[in-house]
Structure 1
């Protein structure tokens, strides 16, 4: 079931409660405000799917509220419906000229008000789905991917990844695997700051620089993730387009010959390291700055020697974000504690997929999210 959030704005508390109760019964989450000032305060904490606002209110009326909404890029595309007892055609036209989707008369039965709001949201959702399909088809035709179809096979290692979009929109997360030779594979997980399409388009620029930097460094005999990160960061800082766009990056090299993992990070979340022999879970935090902040990103390298059964998990920040009634929450420790019970098992990857990426978890997703799973296993001949 799709959760729909609505902001109701009216100086009549009785009407607010009446409509809110009816909407809650139909699965809506309602935020109520008795004034425009209160409504704006709520908006900066909770972005609804639709706004239903009275016209006649003290201090600021519905038209003034609409003007404020239209000046803010974060809110201007939220569907806006006027809810009023005024039937003046001139006022109605003025509201529609301000890109309001509809007018609903306060004398309309509550059941019909709810049906109208549902119909508006359903129509918008279907249009979004159509647009997503068309853009997705175009991206597919151009072979534009920020996430690969599969992970490479590495003898002696299990390498898997999980990726989930936010509301079917692509986002800023990008994943790649670059196999240099039979012994060395680079693992890439990044997250461009921003949401949806804007972040998605920039992810290709970052991926292009990362792939080029890795191949150039390898050509020069340099396989150090920290050195590669420094090169990538310098290029990003000089790029006039990407100079104001920030991104995290976790860069890992798997060396099959030594069973070692070389890791450097740029503003990323700590990677999770499980050592089977000690049944110990630890986190490794990189010191590097986000790509693009300053030319010297202070990137350093960690080397981890993996024994059979040891596991590494790399995640984007979407994995630690979740939705509560009060709004979006971020909690890395909570995520880590949820993960610990399944670490060290033969089926760890499948358990993570089941517990964190199943269909019934999608409604709690507030950002696109990615997870890369690496496990040392016995080599086969």
Structure 2
């Protein structure tokens, strides 16, 4: 799929011409005849580049650019002005609004395409350089948001599968917190956002979660719903995490009784597979996204397990995929595949190898945790 380019101009002929030329050169060009229409396009589909006219009715190109700069979802999209004006004052005004460049409407189409290609190539190069620098820092600080060592329990076995998207870290985070020989917490969260931005905030969420669990346990409180509410309250008042939200699945394993306590915050259902019946049961949480409201409306569920039962926690990347250029979500499709593999009595590694390593249309980082009763 080519890079997405949004063309904004009130002249229909100009729009059709540019769209045709860019599409013929491998881009995916979308047109908008007004700023209002352009904003609607952006709300539904983030673009890789915006090329906008200056003189348009109601809202001109300069005001359009100002609106984009005020919205954190759009302010970093590369922006070009496409105009017949070449007055230095107008050019300076546009560049002051952090536009990358101007393209004269009289520019031959070959030069237009070449300039667009160079701009997008430069953006990719800068992004790759930034990512390389972040990776270097992360490696030096040994920053990990997924456990690197397997945790040993007496009556349970915990297996973790985590796959990044295009070798970039994302918002998924996992932790295993063993309190003593009896109690162990399992944490799976997913910070809203993409790649390095979500990855960065995942450590803040992990820090709050670990602290809340330790403090509650110290007070003799092992209720996962109450622990979740304490986590939520702290995140809700943290200005640093303003407008940054996360899902969370929180599980407490009782290695003595074999029971599992579960609480979720806007997460996907916890899944329990019983080998005797060969059925998968879903446990759905009622909790809201962490930090969204002061009271997250969290509920707690107790799940009894017997020998060879398996419990699964999943992130949304497990059920998201791309089909014909469109992102789709299908929990039932994943459930059918998981059940089929489990009924064949395959190991965890065999299941993940079959389901995920052959998955060609991954659109996000994905995480799967299996808790197996021995």
TM-score in terms of structure 2 length: 0.83
Task: Name the stretch that deviates more: 191-200 or 297-306.
Answer: 191-200
Look up the match of 1:314.
Answer: 313
What is residue 175 of structure 1 aligned with on the other side?
174
- 2:78 is aligned to 79
Alignment root-mean-square deviation, CA = 3.3
Check conservation: 2:337, 2:355, Cα contact below 8 A: no
**Cα deviation, residue 80, structure 1:** 0.5
1:105-254 equivalent positions in 2, closer than 5 A = 105-154=104-153, 157-165=156-164, 170-182=169-181, 184-196=183-195, 199-219=198-218, 223-236=222-235, 246-254=245-253
The within-5 A match list for 1:1-381 is 3-154=2-153, 157-165=156-164, 170-182=169-181, 184-196=183-195, 199-219=198-218, 223-236=222-235, 246-292=245-291, 293-295=293-295, 297-308=297-308, 310-322=309-321, 330-337=329-336, 339-345=338-344, 346-347=346-347, 349-356=349-356, 360-362=360-362, 364-365=363-364, 368-377=365-374
Residue 278 of structure 1 aligns to a residue in which SS?
coil
Say if 2:338 and 2:351, in contact at 8 Å, map to a contact too: no
Quick check: 1:162–1:353 contact (8 Å CA) kept in 2?
no
Taking the aligned partners of 1:239 and 1:87, their CA distance within structure 2 comes to 47
Summarize deviations over 1:267-319 as a string: whole Å, max 9, x none.
322112222211112210123344443357443132231432x3322122344
Listed as ranges, the gaps of 5+ residues in structure 2 are: none
**Gaps (5+ residues) in structure 1?**
none
Q: Which moved more, 1:110-119 or 1:224-233?
A: 224-233
Q: How many residues align?
A: 372
Conservation of the 8 A alpha-carbon contact between 1:213 and 1:228: yes
1:100-152 CA deviation, whole Å, 9 max, x = no partner? 11122333343432232222112112211211222232233233322222442
Tell me, in whole angstroms, the C-alpha distance in 2 between the residues paired with 1:38 and 1:80: 17
TM-score (norm 1): 0.82
Bigger CA drift: 75-84 or 290-299? 290-299
Change (3 A) 1:209 1:24: same
Contact 1:288 1:300 in 2 (8 A): no
In 1, the alpha carbon distance for the partners of 2:16 and 2:182 equals 65
**Residue 354 of structure 1: how far off its partner (Å):** 4.5
Comparing 328-337 and 271-280, the one that deviates more: 328-337
Q: Within 2, Cα distance between the matches of 1:240 and 1:14?
A: 48
Matched position secondary structure for 2:261: strand
Bigger mean CA deviation after superposition, 347-356 or 262-271? 347-356
Q: Secondary structure at the match of 1:78?
A: coil
